[in-house]
């Protein structure tokens, strides 16, 4: 027998994708993806559209049989199981609520399919309505609800059957901006409360950053990097991840000095930056240095590690001022500084760009031109 107090201790299960590949005809959509999602963890699949995120999700749900690799839920290979036997809950971007059924019938749909008694269904539907704070909406039809409410019902419907895994395909894409944050908090709350193992697909990095425990950045069917939001942001392992997450400046340069993992890099403008890197380079190697705008600062003092710049534009964006600057060598880049009321930049004197304190530029090899 189910009772409400067991709701939060649903046994969460890990999900493993083992070298999963999928081709549509000749087109490779998912390319040897290996991913372990720990029990109770929320992993975001983040990547540009067309990189294979939905395909991967549909493979886990069983709508697509992958051409290669295995999907393991708990300790069981689920590949031979049809979607209705996988116990995977899924929330679609379009919500996919059954338009001819009431909210209560929608939520009870999966319970009925599993042959639960009428009384159990009714009880659990009420419980789920309360969980997503939609009491009193049971008799409405989906079209009588707002987008956010439909989203809640879709969640309640997926969670009512206590799935082992929860899959979310672009769950916030159809919501307007204000509602998005509310729903992100709501989903995070429910995922924690139910101790659910979850995968969320998104092409919005802020969304991924805010609610995922770990992010898998995808590109052209492959996982480029898997890590915590902070690691993905601060230590991108590939240029693709570096460019896709946040905004970042690129400088061309070449290695001048090498001292264990400390590299002196001369930029096109003549400035020399000292950069730590786990990759190894030799003297004379052409490199790319990337750095986030907030790790640069404008100053009036010239130094060996500063770049002389001319200011082209300053835009206030939220709590920051974004300066669009250019060096005499033609390097165009962005510098961010905190916006303080009253304080203004001294435009008269010559300006230089320096690394801010604790700045961590990143080195990538550059194919020689």
Partner 1 sequence: MSSAATGERMGVEWRLAAPLGLTYLAFFAAPLVILLVMSFSVDDNLGGFTIASWVKFWGDPFYRGVVWDTLRLGLVAVAVTTLFAYPIALLFVASSPGMQRLLLFIVLLPLLTSVVIRTFAWIVILSREGVLNQALLALGLTSVPLNLLQTELGLVIALTQIEMPLMLLPLITVMGQIDPSLSDASRALGSSRWRTFRKVIVPLSLPGWIAGATLVFASATTAFISQTVIGGARLVYLPTLIWQQAMVVYNWPFAAVASVTLLVAVLAGVSAFAMLGRFARTS
Ligand X SMILES: Nc1ncnc2c1ncn2[C@@H]1O[C@H](COP(=O)(O)OP(=O)(O)O)[C@@H](O)[C@H]1O
Q: Which residues bind ligand X (CB under 6 A)?
A: 24, 27, 29, 47, 49-55
Minimum distance from residue 209 beta carbon to Mg ion (Å): 19
Alpha carbon 79 to chain centroid distance?
A: 26
137 lies in the site for partner 1, by CB under 8 A: no
Which residues is 197 bridged to in the sheet? 165
Q: Compare residues 102 and 219 and give the one whose CB is closer to Mg ion.
A: 219
What does the block give as tokens for 26?
């000749």
164 lies in the site for partner 1, by CB under 8 A: no
Among 100, 143, 278, 358, binds partner 1 (CB under 8 A): 100
83 lies in the site for partner 1, by CB under 8 A: yes
The answer to whether 313 touches 324, Cβ cutoff 8 Å, is yes
Among 124, 157, 162, 292, binds partner 1 (CB under 8 A): 157
2 lies in the site for partner 1, by CB under 8 A: no
Pairing state between β 68-73 and 165-169: unpaired
Stretch that binds partner 1, among 105-113, 184-192, 198-206, 352-360 (CB under 8 A): 105-113
Size of the site for partner 1 (CB under 8 A): 26
Q: Compare residues 129 and 208 and give the one whose CB is closer to Mg ion.
A: 208
Across the chain, the runs of DSSP E, i.e. the strands, are 15-24, 27-37, 42-46, 68-73, 76-77, 88-91, 165-169, 197-202, 214-219, 222-227, 249-259, 262-267, 272-276, 286-291, 296-299, 307-317, 320-326, 332-338, 351-355, 362-365
Stretch that binds partner 1, among 86-94, 262-270, 322-330, 344-352 (CB under 8 A): 86-94
The answer to whether 95 touches 154, Cβ cutoff 8 Å, is yes
Residues found near partner 1 in the complex (CB under 8 A):
58, 61-63, 82-90, 92, 94, 96, 98-100, 109-110, 113-114, 157-158, 161
């Amino acid at each position: 027998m189910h009772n409400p107090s067991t709701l939060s201790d649903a046994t969460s299960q890990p999900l493993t994708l083992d070298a999963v590949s999928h081709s549509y005809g000749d087109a490779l959509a998912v390319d040897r993806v290996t991913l372990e999602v720990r029990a109770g963890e929320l992993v975001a699949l983040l990547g540009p559209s067309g990189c294979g995120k939905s395909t991967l999700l549909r493979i886990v749900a069983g709508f697509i049989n992958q051409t290669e690799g295995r999907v393991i839920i708990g300790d069981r290979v689920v590949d031979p199981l049809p979607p209705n036997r996988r116990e995977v809950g899924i929330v679609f971007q379009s919500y996919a609520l059954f338009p001819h059924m009431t909210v209560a019938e929608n939520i009870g749909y999966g319970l009925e399919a599993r042959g639960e008694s009428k009384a159990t269904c009714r009880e659990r539907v009420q419980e789920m309505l309360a969980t997503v704070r939609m009491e009193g909406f049971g008799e409405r039809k989906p079209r009588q609800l707002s987008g956010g409410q439909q989203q809640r019902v879709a969640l309640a419907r997926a969670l009512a059957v206590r799935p082992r895994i929860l899959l979310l395909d672009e769950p916030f894409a159809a919501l307007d901006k204000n509602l998005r944050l509310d729903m992100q908090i709501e989903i995070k709350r429910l995922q924690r409360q139910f101790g659910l193992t979850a995968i969320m697909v998104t092409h919005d990095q802020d969304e991924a950053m805010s609610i995922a425990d770990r992010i898998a950045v995808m590109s052209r069917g492959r996982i480029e990097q898997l890590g915590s939001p902070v690691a993905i942001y601060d230590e991108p392992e590939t240029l693709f991840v570096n460019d896709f997450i946040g905004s970042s400046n690129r400088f061309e340069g070449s290695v001048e000095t090498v001292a264990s993992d400390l590299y002196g890099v001369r930029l096109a403008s003549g400035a020399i930056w000292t950069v730590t890197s786990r990759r190894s380079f030799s003297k004379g190697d052409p490199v790319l240095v990337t750095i986030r705008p907030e790790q640069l600062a404008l100053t009036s003092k010239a130094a060996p590690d500063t770049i002389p710049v001319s200011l082209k534009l300053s835009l206030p964006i939220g709590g920051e001022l974004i300066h669009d600057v250019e060096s005499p060598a033609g390097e165009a880049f962005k510098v961010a500084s905190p916006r303080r009321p009253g304080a203004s930049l001294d435009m008269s004197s010559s300006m230089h760009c320096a690394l801010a304190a604790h700045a961590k530029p990143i080195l990538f090899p550059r194919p020689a031109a």
